[in-house]
Amino acid sequence: IAGITQAPTSQILAAGRRMTLRCTQDMRHNAMYWYRQDLGLGLRLIHYSNTAGTTGKGEVPDGYSVSRANTDDFPLTLASAVPSQTSVYFCASKVGQNTGELFFGEGSRLTVL
């Protein structure tokens, strides 16, 4: 089934550890995004990529990094996790930067202790 796959679906992590959340899409979408969802704060953009080889910072980029080596994959890395990064992370994609609908992955629930 075509779509976006995120891994892991859930993870508990000790503070200070490095963590990479994986995101893969098979829809050949050019644009990809990482959002975090926190109660009362909605969905906030962390990083984005309009096309393979390019990335940009969103609203809350500090403590996170991304790479876009190819069209399909867009991993999000926490270099040294802190408790404030406890959240649900959603990867999303859309056909191109000028079009509308975002397709979301199922989310990755991360708990940093």
Check residue 33 for interaction with other proteins (CB under 8 A). yes
CA distance 2 to 49: 20
Q: Which two tokens stand for residue 64?
A: 């996170």
Q: Which stretch binds other proteins (CB under 8 A): 22-30, 53-61, 69-77, 78-86?
A: 53-61
Give the Cα-Cα-Cα angle 36, 1, 52 (nearest 5 degrees).
Answer: 55
Check residue 62 for interaction with other proteins (CB under 8 A). no
User: 97 or 111: whose CB is closer to other proteins?
Assistant: 97
Least distance in angstroms from the C-beta of 77 to other proteins: 20
Using CB under 8 A, pick the residue from 7, 13, 43, 52 that binds other proteins. 43
Positive or negative torsion for Cα 82, 88, 91, 97: negative
Q: Which stretch binds other proteins (CB under 8 A): 22-30, 45-53, 66-74, 75-83?
A: 45-53
Of 77, 58, 59, nearest in space to 67 by CA: 77
CA distance 36 to 34: 7
Using CB under 8 A, pick the residue from 7, 27, 52, 102 that binds other proteins. 102
